[in-house]
Amino acid sequence: MKPDMSYIMLTESQFEPAGADEKTNSPIKSKLAPPPATKATAKTSENAPITSADLEQTMRLFEILSARSDVDHPICMECTELLLEGLHKRQAGVTRERDTYVHFLKQAQENIPTDEEKAKTKTDLEDAQRRERQALEELEALEAEKARMEDEIAALDAEAEDLDEEEERFWRDRNAFSAELTAFQEERDSLQNQVAHDNKLLESLQRTNVYNDTFCIGHDGYFGTINGLRLGRLPDHPVDWAEINAAWGQVMLLTAIVADKERCRLNGWKLHPVGSTSKIEKIEESKQSANGSKSSFFELYSSGDVPLSFGLFHRSFDSGMVAFLDCLRQLGEHVERTSSQAPGGTALKMPYPISKDKIGEVSIKLGNFGQEEQWTKACKYTLTCCKFLLAHASHVADDALEIKSAR
C-alpha cells in the first residue's frame, strides 16, 4: 500500500496570479508556478506577510508531497475532490478486502483440527501411505508381468511368423497337389470315358451278328433273296442270270462258312465259292489213281444262253444244284445231331426235308416248259434252310463268346 498522503489547503493569496502566456497541462492536474526567488520580499496578505523562508518551506513541502504521491502538488480544488473521491473508493475496496481477510482468518481459527482429528488424520495418512506402498508393489509386479507377457508375445509373434511361413508352404504344396490331382482326375475321367465308349462299342459288337450282317436272307414277293439278290425266275418276272448266279455264289459261300464253323466234313463233296462262277467238286475213291481219288466239277451257274424249258441243256447246272442239296442235307443232319447231344440242348430239325433232288417235295432241277414256279419255290426253300443253318451258327458263336467273357 502506498503511504498516506497529506493535503494542504492554500489560499489564492499565497500564489501569484498566472500570466496570459501560462498554460494548463491537464483539466484534472494543474501546477501553479512558484513565485520568483529573486525578490527579497513578496506581497503579503492583509493578515500575515509571506517571507522567503516561508516560501522556501512551502516549496520544500510541496516537493516532499509530490515525491510521496502520484500527484504533483499543489493541485486545484476540483482535482482534489476528484482525487479524494477516487481515494475513498479505493479505501472502500481495501476495507472490504480487509474484512474478507478478517473473516477468512476467523474461519481458519475456527477450523483448527483437534488432537483426535490430527490423530485420525495421521492414521489415515499412514494407511494411505501403506496402501500406496502396496499399490507400488502391485505396480512393480504388474510391470514385471507385463515385461514377461511382452517377451511371451514376442515369442508368439516369432512362432506366428514361422506358422505363417509353414502355412504358405502348405498352401503352395496343396495347390500343386490339387493341380496334379486335377490332372490325374482329368486323365482318369478321360480313360473312364474311353473305357465306357469301348465297352459300348464292345457290347455293340457283341450284339452284332456277323453272319446275319454278311448274309441277309429274306424275300421279295415270290422270290427268296440273299443280300438283295433274287434266286429264281418267273415268266412274268424274268430275273437276269447274272443276279441268279451271284445269288448262288452267296449261298455257296454261306454253306462253306457254316460247314467250317460247325466243323462238318462233307462226304464226297468240296465247295468252291468263287462268286458268280461257283463250283462243287465231287470226290470219288479210285484205286487206279496215284492219290487214290478222282474228282469232277459241277457248275452252280448258268450262262443263260438256253431257255429254262430246255432242261436237257442244263444238266451240269442241275447236277450242281442237286450236289448242293446233298451238301445242305449233310450239314443239316450234323446240326440236328450235335444239337441233340449238347447238355441241356433240344434237337433241331431242318425246316424242309431234303431227299436227292427234292427239298420240301419240290425238285430243284430245271424241268420242262412251265416249271419256273416250281424251281423258284425250291430255291426259296433252299434259302430258308440256309437261314436256319445261319441262325444256328450265330447262336453257337454267341454262346462261345459268353463263355469266353465269363472266363
Q: So what's the pLDDT on residue 318? A: 85
Q: Which CATH class is domain 211-406?
A: mainly alpha
> What is the pLDDT of the chain when averaged over all its residues?
79
Distance CA 253, CA 269 (A): 14
Output the CA angle 15-18-24, nearest 5 degrees.
Answer: 110
Distance CA 243, CA 40 (A): 191
User: What is the average per-residue pLDDT within 270-290?
Assistant: 79
Q: Where are the domains of the chain?
A: 12-110, 121-207, 211-406
pLDDT in tens, 135-151: 999 999 999 999 999 99
Q: So what's the pLDDT on residue 5? A: 44
Q: So what's the pLDDT on residue 174? A: 95
Q: So what's the pLDDT on residue 71? A: 66
**Residue % of the chain over a pLDDT of 70:** 76
- By the 8 A CB rule, do 323 and 269 touch? yes
Q: So what's the pLDDT on residue 372? A: 81
C-alpha distance from residue 118 to each of 13, 74, 115, 124 (Å): 72, 60, 5, 10
Is the model more confident about 121 or about 18? 121
Distance CA 252, CA 229 (A): 13
Sheet holding 354-355, edge to edge: 354-355, 358-359, 362-363
Distance CA 258, CA 266 (A): 12
pLDDT in tens, 6-16: 444 444 444 44
Distance CA 180, CA 325 (A): 69
pLDDT in tens, 135-193: 999 999 999 999 999 999 999 999 999 999 999 999 999 999 999 999 999 999 999 99
pLDDT in tens, 355-388: 888 898 888 887 655 578 888 899 999 999 999 9
Global confidence as pTM:
0.50
Cβ of 277: how many Cβ atoms within 10 Å? 14
Distance CA 318, CA 338 (A): 30
Reply yes or no on whether the pLDDT at 202 is more than 60: yes
